[in-house]
Structure 1
Amino acid sequence: MPERITSVQNPRIKAAAKLRQRRAREQQGRTIIDGVREIERALAKEFPLLELFLCDELLVGAEADALRQRVASQPNLQVYDIPRDVCEKLSFGERSEGAVSVANYPVTSLDACQLSSTPLIVVLEDVEKPGNLGAILRTADAVGADCLIAADARTDLFNPNAIRASLGTIFAVPTFEATTAETMAFLRKHGVQMFAARVEGAVSYEQVRFDGPTALILGSEAEGLSDRWLADDVTNIRLPMRGIADSLNVSTTAAVLLYEADRQRQT
């Protein structure tokens, strides 16, 4: 039987609630996962969960039943039974699905990255908005990208809001972090073609081939890519903009490029 916790002042609850803050996540080396689908997907991919807090009153529906079945097969996972008010203390905003988990941060070093023979890689430089990171991970998962590399990231990769925005696909797409210099060296070492998305890119994305080893490189919405990507072995590409706007949201740009790469690889 799960241990019962009834007070929001319980030390485990207080420690988990602190993980909403980046400083606490960095200090503890942990993050918090909020949501039935997200936790079920984390378990399915053997993500390093430590604690799971469940509120039976809120756990309803087929996805909740699937989560219960998954939890039953995890004898080493520490599960706690909590009431609604404690669950709401842990949950984000108005969303309270009755399941919140604490997990260790995984290894995100590029040394752990394994590529296929013709990898499709997403590189995000200076990413700062967890929502964009999560949205891009959803598309990367949809097209079967090998991995995502956050270069000089301004947000922690497993920010709870990134996890939520990804709908748990962050657990399915190998995700790494490195400096821009380390990322470029890694791509060159593995013979990966580099395509940098820029408003002023010399070549339209429709004119290049993404069916070989490919890295699609995107920058922050505020500043775009740094000049470090202005290298002879980097092709600067653009999306045609025929209206008054000069660029798209970075997650939209990523979706266009990833699906074009997927289309080319399927033909």
Structure 2
Amino acid sequence: MPEHITSRQNPRVKEAVKLKQRRQRERQGRFFIDGVREIDRALNAGLGIVEAFVCESLCSAEEAQAVAKRLEKQAKEFLTVTPDVFEKLCFGERTDGVLAVAATPHHTLDDIELPERPLVAVLEGLEKPGNIGAALRSADGAGLDAVIVANPGTDLFNPNTVRASLGTVFGGNIAAATSEETIEWLRGIELPTYAARPEANHRYDGVIYNQGAALVLGSEAHGLSDVWYGAGVTAIGLPMHGIADSLNVSATAAVLFYEARRQWDAE
């Protein structure tokens, strides 16, 4: 029988709750996953589930029960909790009844495997986990081959990033690196590189992506670093017809990624 936790003061609960803080995620080498869909995708990706917390009275939906059964088989520690304990554990207002703690994966540029003429996204310096997650979701939807998160302002496995990505953050071809490492890697594989900048002279739909391309986006607060202003990087922009000079970075990402995919599909 699994251990049943009834107190919010239980040491396992206290340690798991700490993972809502970046410092603790980095210290423990673990991160928090809540939500049926996100946990299911983490399991499909083969992530190591260290602990699972299940509230049986809340776990009523068929999808939640199926994930709970998978967790019982695959998690190193499977724990049941009361609704009160689950409320303390969950991030936001989730009532699926399932939570998981996973070992943080560390994917580098060396882990990325690319086909010929790949489409690669580079997200540099993004501070808001929701923007990173939304961009990852768009990259997945558009069928990009890899995403590199360069010099992020938040860790890749912030609970809000996991949630906004709908679990697509667990894809195998997602890596973290510095901007300098990233541009050297792109040069090494001779991939044409296009950087989204408001002052660009080239429209985003006026360049060719279907021979392979890296699409680089920077933070809304600071834009792109000087690394992306050198030789071999073409600046592209979206036409703005109102008073705003740019779109939200996740909206820009979706436009660029789907234009790149449209060109591929039009071949």
Q: Distance in 2 between matches of 1:137 and 1:100?
A: 22
Q: Distance in 2 between matches of 1:33 and 1:209?
A: 38
**Within 5 A, what are the aligned runs for 1:96-135?**
96-135=95-134
Answer whether contact 1:30 1:104 (CA < 8 A) is retained. yes
1:110: Cα distance to partner?
Answer: 1.4
**Within 5 A, what are the aligned runs for 1:42-57?**
42-57=42-57
Equivalent residue for 1:40?
40
Equivalent residue for 1:66?
66
Tell me, what secondary structure is at the counterpart of 1:199? Answer: coil
Q: Does 1:18 align with 2:18?
A: yes
Answer whether contact 1:146 1:173 (CA < 8 A) is retained. no
Offset from partner CA, 1:35-88 (integer Å, 9 cap, x none)? 1111111111111211110001111223213313433552x5321111101111
Answer whether contact 2:68 2:98 (CA < 8 A) is retained. no
Equivalent residue for 2:250?
251
Q: Distance in 1 between matches of 2:129 and 2:260?
A: 24
Offset from partner CA, 1:209-244 (integer Å, 9 cap, x none)? 111221110000111111221112001000011111
Give the residue type in structure 2 aligned to 1:250: V
Q: Distance in 1 between matches of 2:156 and 2:242?
A: 33
Answer whether contact 1:199 1:246 (CA < 8 A) is retained. yes
* Ranges in structure 2 where 5+ consecutive residues have no aligned partner: none
Q: Distance in 2 between matches of 1:250 and 1:53?
A: 35
Return closer, same or farther for 1:56/1:154 CA change in 2, 3 Å cut-off.
same
Equivalent residue for 2:206?
207
1:17: Cα distance to partner?
Answer: 0.3
Q: Does 1:4 align with 2:25?
A: no
1:96: Cα distance to partner?
Answer: 3.0
Return closer, same or farther for 1:87/1:39 CA change in 2, 3 Å cut-off.
same
Offset from partner CA, 1:110-135 (integer Å, 9 cap, x none)? 12222121211110111110000010
Q: Distance in 1 between matches of 2:65 and 2:142?
A: 28
Following superposition, which runs of at least 4 residues in structure 1 exceed 4 angstroms of deviation?
none
Tell me, what secondary structure is at the counterpart of 2:20? Answer: coil
Q: Does 1:220 align with 2:219?
A: yes
Answer whether contact 1:31 1:102 (CA < 8 A) is retained. yes
Q: Distance in 2 between matches of 1:212 and 1:70?
A: 41
Q: Distance in 1 between matches of 2:8 and 2:173?
A: 35
Answer whether contact 1:148 1:173 (CA < 8 A) is retained. no
Tell me, what secondary structure is at the counterpart of 2:78? Answer: strand
Q: CA RMSD in A?
A: 1.3
Offset from partner CA, 1:122-158 (integer Å, 9 cap, x none)? 1011111000001011111112212211111110001
Give the residue type in structure 1 aligned to 2:146: C
Please, what TM-score do these two structures have when normalized by structure 2?
Answer: 0.96
* Ranges in structure 1 where 5+ consecutive residues have no aligned partner: none
Answer whether contact 1:140 1:173 (CA < 8 A) is retained. no
Q: Distance in 1 between matches of 2:257 and 2:231?
A: 23
Tell me, what secondary structure is at the counterpart of 2:120? Answer: strand
Identity %: 53
Q: Distance in 2 between matches of 1:135 and 1:7?
A: 35
Answer whether contact 2:52 2:99 (CA < 8 A) is retained. yes
Answer whether contact 2:6 2:81 (CA < 8 A) is retained. yes
Q: Distance in 1 between matches of 2:172 and 2:204?
A: 24
Answer whether contact 1:191 1:213 (CA < 8 A) is retained. no
Q: Distance in 1 between matches of 2:41 and 2:6?
A: 27
Q: Does 1:91 align with 2:90?
A: yes
Give the residue type in structure 2 aligned to 1:202: N
Offset from partner CA, 1:185-222 (integer Å, 9 cap, x none)? 01111111110000001100111011122111000011
